[in-house]
Structure 1
């Protein structure tokens, strides 16, 4: 079906004698991103389809093709999956009586935990467009394992926890792919599961992940309210890493909400996150889903907050420190962090260096099937338009048509 979308757009471009590069310039989209979409390597967003429709005046055909692709309603052998494809109607967590159920034991839960963590590790090096199908298939399999078989109360609770963990990473993957409504449905499924399992720490991770998406997609007040609720519901027994992560999300939500008071609250929240991590002396091993939370990640959030608050001198120093030792295999995060560095350099009146960093962002993002990186490319290029009289910036803008 991705082929149908690309074919329709290419045919319309030929009719109007437009190249992909010319179309991307006109619509203010990155040429590499549009090329990946038309080649079927990345899903289009509805926003892109609407821009193409306006440019090409295709009588609604492009939007219809994009909708079929994103909804997974076509006849292709590889339609874009949605949560509805993988879960039963009605209550997806309701237990079923089947003819030949089997007994699920601790060993199967252990195997499942390993697969879930493997998916998290894959997300470190692969983007949402690459992982959404496998993530949803794993979620379907786990829900069926819980619903259609027998298990002890303890094993049932463990399965609900794994559904929650899967929903968190699958929601994150869907959000990275630009499928925000889908991600919200996945997060809410996970919240339902972990509330039944009475795992408040994991519930906070799911709620905080949804809050983060809301803050990044214009629902800033809802994002702030939900991030604060996730933090409020933590118990005193919650690991220090969990408290640090949830304070970080509160800091980001305040930053996105804007205003002087929110800026102050964001700085206070960053301080609380650092203190929480410093106090992380728990004898028990924290949950596996917190493996990535460390001082370096808190530094990343701090630098992003400083960038958004237009405090570039502090932001540039922090980001350079982070990037100097960052794992280059984590290409999506590398592109994202470099994008904030480019913005901070522009704010610091260093347009030549900002343009050089922006070129790196674009080069890396071209090979990453992530809507988040594509959006950051657009943000960076838009920011640099203020310096279009600087030769290095002018060349960049001409090449990538922001």
Structure 2
């Protein structure tokens, strides 16, 4: 997957301004109508702007007023999207722009800079975990800039400071963990090249640190990204390699996670029995977790999350009778503040309901998914909304489905420029 084109980057930039103003797409449309005296603007048009389908040139002044943004900045952003400017104001640069050239993790041969010790690395670890916790409730487009800045800062600290062996290893571990969360965030923001670059940088750091579970975490994360972006064979190879890399002595929670990712990669490849076998291995690993310590990056791995992956695999394998009850149960208990995950899980439920020949219920879930995806800067939820709409197209004669397709079918087709 390539980096977003300038129009899509403008859309992410505009969506970020809207989110910071605390507005939904619908409320922004209403305020723009009130500010301009024109009543024809709809939420769908705002959605089109944020997808990069259309640049709102005539609305820039009103947008600046409603969003509290400098008009000059908006005009520069629009010019960039039209190919008339060099940079997009306010947008995060790519990792290629921000990270040093050459061997990124090679120590500099110049005289050592300031000396650092473990307490400073502990502070970095706290910020890394803060990014992970923020990702639970915010989308990739909201977090990509701070994630990239933090990764760049950590790499510079490693290259330009002096430290003893233990501190250096601890710093490499944090660069590895930062590479993983930055890659995850970049993937969610639709910045595939940056995601791969971050994962690969993290892999290099984790290998230098000799942290096998973290190497497996990064390999599995990269494999998951590739599987979800049409590179099924590469994704499966990395997911299965991650299980081997971690080995049988890795913490139980991490082994459960790696088996879960392998199950997903097998399902994406249409390999039913290996997928089901990996799901069973994930549950068996977690059964043995007890109070065994696990890395901080595995904090979210629990029985409920394994059930989510079970249901996703069953949906991918077109086994809705097993998927639907699991998803309904999980959604009934899931933390509503994790809006992106709730939207994603509803998307799989919608597809499973369609597979179960329950189009009316599928359409109801689709409405929730589409509404949520319009209000967050997550390419994952946007793409899942498209998947749901494509699946519902088989039931276009059902009134509830026809209403969804009529209102939101434009999401499947890029808007005019």
Change (3 A) 1:168 1:67: farther
Paired with 1:123 and 1:213, the residues of 2 have a C-alpha distance of 16
CA distance in 2, matches of 1:153, 1:207: 25
Give the corresponding residue for 1:248: 260
Distance 1:100 1:290 in 2: 35
Q: Secondary structure at the match of 2:264?
A: helix
Picking from 20, 34, 48, the partner of 2:48 is 34
Match of 2:199 in 1: 187
The answer to whether the 8 A contact 2:8-2:50 is kept is: no
Q: Give structure 2 stretches of 5+ with no counterpart.
A: 1-5, 12-39, 57-78, 413-417
1:196 aligns with 2:208: yes
Aligned residue number for residue 281 of structure 2: 272
Q: Which residue of 1 aligns with 2:20?
A: none
**Who is 1:112 aligned against?**
124
Q: Secondary structure at the match of 2:246?
A: coil
Query: What is the CA-CA distance between 1:74 and the residue it aligns to?
Result: 2.4
Rounded to whole Å, the distance in 2 between the matches of 1:86 and 1:373 is 27
Task: Extract structure 1 runs of 4+ deviating beyond 4 A.
Answer: 1-6, 38-41, 64-69, 97-100
Alignment of 1:150-165 (within 5 A): 150-165=162-177
Structure 1 residues 82 and 20, CA gap change in structure 2 (3 angstroms): farther
Q: 2:366·2:388 contact (CA, 8 Å) conserved in 1?
A: yes
Asked if the contact 1:335–1:361 (Cα under 8 Å) also holds between the matched residues in 2, the reply is yes
Tell me how far apart the structure 2 counterparts of residues 281 and 98 of structure 1 sit (CA, whole Å).
48
Q: Deviation digits for residues 244-301 of structure 1, max 9, x if unmatched?
A: 000001100000011xxx1111000000000000011354x21100000000000000
Give the total of aligned pairs: 356
How far the C-alpha of 1:67 sits from its partner, in A, is 9.7
Superimposed CA distance per residue, residues 90-137 of structure 1 (whole angstroms, 9 cap, x where no aligned partner): 011011244571111111011011000000000011111111110000
Conservation of the 8 A alpha-carbon contact between 1:243 and 1:276: yes
Cα drift, residue 218 of structure 1: 1.0
Instruction: Indicate the residue corresponding to 2:60 in structure 1.
Output: none
- C-alpha displacement of 1:76: 4.0
Matches within 5 A, 1:377-388: 377-388=385-396
Matched, 1:393 2:407: no
Deviations 1:137-161, CA, capped at 9 Å, x for gaps: 0001111111101101000000000
8 Å CA contact 1:20, 1:34 repeated in 2 = no
3-state DSSP class of the match of 1:183? Answer: helix
- Residue from 241, 244, 264 that aligns with 1:232: 244
What CA RMSD, in Å, does the superposition of the two structures yield over aligned residues? 2.6
The alignment partner of 2:386 has SS state of helix
In 1, are the aligned partners of 2:112 and 2:162 still within 8 Å (CA)?
Answer: no
Aligned to 2:61: none
CA distance in 2 between counterparts of 1:371 and 1:360 reads 16
Answer yes or no: is the 8 Å Cα contact 2:220–2:261 preserved in 1.
yes
Change (3 A) 1:329 1:100: same
Unaligned ranges ≥5, structure 1 = 7-18, 25-29, 42-63
Pick closer, same or farther for the CA change 1:31–1:392 going to 2, 3 Å: farther
Q: TM-score, normalised by structure 1?
A: 0.83
Residues 144 and 40 from structure 1, CA distance in 2 versus in 1: closer, same or farther, beyond 3 angstroms?
farther
Deviation at 1:32, TM superposition (A): 5.7
2:15 maps to none
Cα separation, 1, equivalents of 2:82 and 2:242: 33
Instruction: Return the alpha-carbon distance in structure 1 between the equivalents of residues 180 and 174 of structure 2.
Output: 10
In the TM superposition, residue 31 of structure 1 has moved relative to its aligned partner by 5.9
Cα gap change, 1:76/1:215 in structure 2, threshold over 3 Å: closer, same or farther? closer
- How does the TM-score come out when normalised to structure 2? 0.80
The Cα shift of 1:185 comes to 1.1
Residue 223 of structure 1: aligned partner: 235
- Matching of residue 329 in structure 1 with residue 337 in structure 2: yes
* Distance change in 2, residues 1:2/1:399 (3 Å): closer
